[in-house]
C-alpha cells in the first residue's frame, strides 16, 4: 500500500499538489476558526455578528478551489473517472460559497 502511494505521488504534478495542500490547509484554518467561534458563542450572551458566515463561505470557497485543482490535474493527465461528478460538485460549492456572503 505504501508503494502504491509513493507511485501515485511521483505521477502527480508537484505544483498542483502544493496548491491542493495549500488550499486544504487554508480551509482547515477556517474550519478551526469556525469551531472556536461557535464554542465561544455558546457561552456568551451576544448575538452573532455574521463573521461565521463569512468564514464558512471562505472555507467552502477554498475547498472548491482544491477540487478545481483536482479537476485541472484530471484534465491534464486524461483521467476521466468521476470527472463530471467532481465538476458538478465543484460548481455547486462555488455557488454556495458566493451565495452565503
**Which whole-number Å values give the CA distances from 93 to 51, 68, 73, 99, in the listed order?**
19, 10, 18, 10
Domain ranges in the chain are 13-100
pLDDT band at 5 (very low <50, low <70, confident <90, very high): low
Question: pTM (2 decimals)?
Answer: 0.83
Q: What sign does the dihedral 68-69-70-72 (CA atoms) show?
A: positive
Residue 47 has pLDDT above 70, yes or no: no
Residue 2 has pLDDT above 70, yes or no: yes
**C-alpha cell read off for 95:** 455557488
pLDDT band at 67 (very low <50, low <70, confident <90, very high): very high
Residue 50 has pLDDT above 70, yes or no: yes
CB of 43 closer than 8 Å to CB of 99? no
Of 34-38, 43-47, 51-55, 84-88, the range with the lowest mean pLDDT is 43-47
The CA distance from 67 to 74, in Å, is 10
Amino acid at each position: 500500500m505504501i508503494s502504491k502511494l509513493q507511485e501515485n505521488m511521483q505521477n502527480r504534478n508537484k505544483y498542483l499538489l502544493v496548491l491542493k495542500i495549500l488550499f486544504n490547509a487554508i480551509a482547515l484554518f477556517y474550519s478551526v476558526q469556525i469551531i472556536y467561534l461557535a464554542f465561544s458563542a455558546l457561552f456568551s450572551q451576544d448575538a452573532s455578528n455574521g463573521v461565521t458566515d463569512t468564514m464558512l463561505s471562505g472555507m467552502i470557497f477554498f475547498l472548491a478551489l482544491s477540487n478545481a485543482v483536482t479537476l485541472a490535474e484530471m484534465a491534464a493527465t486524461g483521467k476521466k473517472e468521476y470527472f463530471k461528478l467532481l465538476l458538478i460538485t465543484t460548481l455547486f460549492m462555488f455557488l454556495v460559497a458566493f451565495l452565503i456572503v
